[in-house]
Chain A
Amino acid sequence: MQKKTGQLDAGIKSSQFEAIVHAYSKDLYRYGLWLTKDVQVAEDLVQETFLRAWKAMDSLKDPNAVKSWLFTIYRRENARRFEKVRPDTTPIDDINVDKFVHLEDDFAKTELIALRNALKELPVEYLEPLLLQVLGGYSCKEIAEILGIKSGAVMTRVFRARKKLRAILNDDSTSDSEQIVEI
């Protein structure tokens, strides 16, 4: 069969896919776990995301855009989950807050456990841009494009989320008690 101009052959496409899986699957899983709080749902969504990415790889023109493309697919799949099955229970809280490999320092462990507990309680509209910033390495402008909201709103949400989380470590009761409100 004649190959379309510019279309990758199966070997290269497969290699490219493997490289993408190795580079991004763990961060996509982490992103999903914090959002869904359920290890199985988070992994299933990663699987589904990569399967959809594999099927659509020929349409990806710019390889540098693959990471944000994957996050966008993941978000869409997560949204579809609610269309297909309306969960009748609250998500399972599967995030193991006290599991840190290679971390011997008890004080550091305590700090990180406190941070993870605070992250679990962060409202999703604040958590999601923060995850995209830390795991995806995106600027506020890029996060705004992925989430479909204004850049100013992303900045405000990330600022407040970070301020609240810092207050946990600094034992700043003023900031700690500050309510996160939508702008």
Chain B
Amino acid sequence: MSSMDTTCLEVRRELTTDPKSRSPVIMKHLSSCNSCADYLQEIKLFNDKLSTAIKVEAPEGLESRILLAQRMGQSQISNATKYSNYTWMSLAAGIVLAIGLSISMYKFGESHGLEQDVLAHVYNELYILEKDENIQLASLNILLKPHGIQANEGIGHIRHAANCPFGDKFVPHIILDDQGKAVTVMYIPWENVGKRIQLDDQRFKGTLFGAQQGSFVILTEDREVLEGMENRVMSSIQTRI
């Protein structure tokens, strides 16, 4: 197409407004208009720059100060000009940081494929591997219910469980105990990977496999633990009817 027609203008307006728009009209037009396809590439490039510009650095220790304030059960501030506690809050938060938090350089979305996203998430939450909150089965099932699954007693000792942000949704992230070793179990309800995928990076060994619905991930730092864990998970977590 050598000149822009009405459709080109409409498509470009929509892409300028929302670079991620992939409506049927847009997709059909892009497949036959090289000029607008080039425009989309320009828009994507601009969007990357805009995103980098907006993502200013957050202050060091922000997360630990929030968690400290929550644990203290009181507000650090009552209005926008009351900052007297700020210095000691920062110091105390540093202690919390040293005890509990280990933030990796991995970031969700920078990788390609579910297995990289899973590893990125696990590295972002390494601190939970040290926890043992002795979660009760009934509590775990409250957490699993919205995802359409439930666990039975066979799941064993549950050290930690939470619904974690994963992409733009939430997934159950569970830490089980196997003879004192932490085993990460995650359930991705919306994606069935089908074939078994082995995960093996410098630290974690694991598997990603499809279930009746969705996919499970099992990760440990000890390959021997992994072998029995898949059976334990599959026999103790079922789809809710």
Contacts and interface: CB of A to CB of B under 8 A. Distances in A.
Interface stretch (B65-73, B199-207, B213-221, B230-238): B65-73
A6 B141 CA distance: 9
Nearest to A49: B66
Interface stretch (B25-33, B148-156, B162-170, B176-184): B162-170
Contacts of B16: 159, 162-163, 166
Contact of A44 (B80, B133, B140): B80
A101 B66 CA distance: 24
Main secondary structure on A side of the interface with B = helix
Contact of A111 (B49, B70, B75, B139): B49
Contacts of A20: 165
B165 A30 contact: no
A100 B75 CA distance: 32
Contacts, number: 170
A139 interface: yes
A73 B214 CA distance: 32
Nearest to B166: A23
A163 B59 CA distance: 30
B58 A26 contact: yes
A150 interface: no
B163 A63 contact: yes
Contact of B142 (A6, A66, A166): A6
Interface residues of B, number: 56
Contacts of A169: 46, 49
B165 A34 contact: no
A144 B83 CA distance: 34
Contacts of A95: 56
B18 A29 contact: no
A84 B164 contact: no
A30 B54 contact: yes
- Counting chain B CB atoms within 10 Å of each CB, the highest count among A8, A25, A47, A62 belongs to A47
Contact of B170 (A66, A85, A108): A66
Interface of B: 13, 16-18, 46-47, 49-59, 62-63, 65-67, 69-70, 75-77, 79-81, 83, 86, 103, 124-125, 128, 131, 133-136, 139-140, 142-143, 146, 160-165, 168-170, 173
